[in-house]
Amino acid sequence: MSALRKINATLDLNRKSWNIERIEAIQGDIDSLMIAVQIVENGKLKNLTGYKATFAVVLPDTINYVIDDLHFSNEKMDEGYFEYTFVKEAFSVAGVYDTARFILQNEDGTELSGMPRFTYYVEKDPLQGKVVAESYVSDFERLEALIHDVELEIDSLHTEIDKESARLNTEIEKIDAKIDTETSKLQSEAADLQQQFDNINPEQFAQKTALDEHVNDADIHVTVTDKTNWNAKETVEGAQAKADKALNDAKVDAAALYEPKITVTAWAAPALKTGFSILSSAYPPLYRLKGSTLQLKGAIGRTSAKGVMYTLPAGYRPSERRGFSTPLVSSVSGTVATIYIQPNGDVELVAASQDSPVWIEISLDID
């Protein structure tokens, strides 16, 4: 891996111009280049508290792109300063990257105006061979991390269930062993009694008067209540039923903990508004929920139409307006569009750099 280089850049919002040295990289560089950005307005440092920075660029001569809000250092946004480390996908294709820009979006969804593009250059590396251009969206990286955390939690729950099952099996084995011991003891006592009866001499029988005295002695006889209490003692079937219930309860409790976290709905097609259409049956506009993450994809045909493209149903809507930059389906390099996803479910095309179809590939947390 190359040593990290830092490029200092200053953006004057009044002039909408960059003061930046030439940025050069080699195809395939990984974690090799950082750009340190200072934004000024009216000769003063611009307070960017509450703004979230996103880096966006379209790869030269492709329809692929990079949209990244993950690899930023934002500790000094109140001084108009932030640092961004380029992801490897930003250097995956050799050529001139003249569509690079930073998008600064406030908490209310508004964007900071006066943010011009800047250019950087990527030199081809013969050692890399043929490199396949791929798009990069940082939200997918976050989603993968969340899925990994859920998988770890599920593994932990499975381990707990296995431990509980093993403990219950051990308890059942102890109960079975105790029952076997008691049964053997009773059988031995019964055999001894039988032997005693076999050895009885009739002359040893008690007189009827003595027998009557014994019959009428309530203190030495087992009552119905005593028999009921004896029958209430644990049986093999009762112990097994209790063990089965405990195991099933443990499985239900464990399932209730993790199954809601990995609920995935089926892909659904929205009803497009007037002026918008399905560009291709190979890439129809679709949406779904994966846990609490809303995913949108597909290509939407249009000419010059703007506004609400379609409306998401209840349960698929964010709690506040979210804004995204997304590419247009065009052979012209650098064409982009701005899309808002409103709390009422409207997926709205706010702006587009030219009259071309819109390519949507968006993920967001609706919590």
* 299-311 tens-digit pLDDT: 999 999 999 999 9
**pLDDT greater at residue 161 or residue 272:** 272
Is a pLDDT exceeding 50 seen at residue 150?
A: no
Token couple for 209: 């008067």
Token couple for 267: 């892909």
Mean per-residue pLDDT, 14-27: 94
d(CA 274, CA 253) in angstroms, rounded, equals: 48
Cβ neighbours of residue 115 under 8 Å, at least 6 residues apart? 11, 13, 101, 102, 103, 104
Quick one: pLDDT band at residue 349, thresholds 50, 70, 90?
Answer: very high
Nearest to 76 by CA among 108, 101, 42, 53: 53
d(CA 254, CA 256) in angstroms, rounded, equals: 5
**pLDDT greater at residue 156 or residue 351:** 351
d(CA 315, CA 156) in angstroms, rounded, equals: 30
First to last CA, the chain: 38
**pLDDT greater at residue 88 or residue 176:** 88
Quick one: pLDDT band at residue 231, thresholds 50, 70, 90?
Answer: low
Is a pLDDT exceeding 60 seen at residue 282?
A: yes
d(CA 15, CA 57) in angstroms, rounded, equals: 22
- pTM greater than the 0.95 cutoff: no
- Cβ contact 299:359 at 8 Å: yes
d(CA 81, CA 75) in angstroms, rounded, equals: 8
